[in-house]
Amino acid sequence: MGKLVWILLLGFCLIVSATPRPDEDSDDDAAEEDAAAESGAESDDAAEATEEEGDEEGESDDSDDSKEFVCNLKFKRIGCYADKGKKDKPLVSFMESDEDLSVSAKRGKIKGDKLDKFNGELPKFACKCANDAINGGNAIFGLQNLAECWSGPDDSKYDKDGPSEDCVTFDMAKCEDNSEVCAGKKHANFMYYVDSPEHTKTKEEAQEELAENAKKEAEAKRKAAKKLKGKKKGKKSKKSH
């Protein structure tokens, strides 16, 4: 009887020791949840880093695009000329001005944060001025007061006040012969012309046009001479009768 009791007690102890306690289960589950949370956090960090890299790449692409601006029209430099006239101006048509730069530009100098804007906007403003001039029927245009667009008929005396040294390029540096694009300061125009088939002919085209005009003039003279000869012949025949 006593041995039986001891055997039962021993079996009960073994069963109790083999059964997992609720505290141990919750600790294991908590550890697994912590590990999963850490793994998820690392994944989120990696995703955010990838997005930031993508944003940085996108920003650099945008800046590259702005540097690679290409105008839809081809226009060529003429040079820097004075504009001393108040009434009889070399260019008669004021087209537009850049509102953001016009206040600083009228002082003849742009500096500070507006200088970066001037550098970025100068090629675009010249292109816009070229388009406005062409749409107005003119091939020539000039940039004055750094941010003003002027134009006029193609036979305008844009050089009547003589050349000027008051034209600048990027960073307000003095305009040189190799400068890509320039603008005149106060009382100066930097002149351009639009190089398009409608307004600019090649030497060969000009020679062909001259030859065609000469041919038309010769034909007109021949017809006039033939007509005059016919009239004289008619008069002679009348006299003979």
For 204-236, write each residue's pLDDT tens digit.
765 776 677 778 888 888 888 888 877 777 776
Hey, is 123 helix, strand or coil? Answer: helix
Query: Among residues 125, 112, 128, which one has the least CA distance to residue 171?
Result: 112
Domain ranges in the chain are 75-194
- Measured CA to CA, the distance from residue 230 to residue 174 in angstroms comes to 69
Q: How many CA atoms lie within 13 A of 78 on its CB side?
A: 23
pTM, two decimal places: 0.55
When computed from its CA atoms, the radius of gyration of the chain, rounded to whole angstroms, is 43
Query: Among residues 167, 169, 139, 193, which one has the least CA distance to residue 83?
Result: 167
Hey, is 212 helix, strand or coil? Answer: helix
For the stretch 150-187, pLDDT in tens is: 999 988 899 999 999 999 999 999 999 999 999 999 89
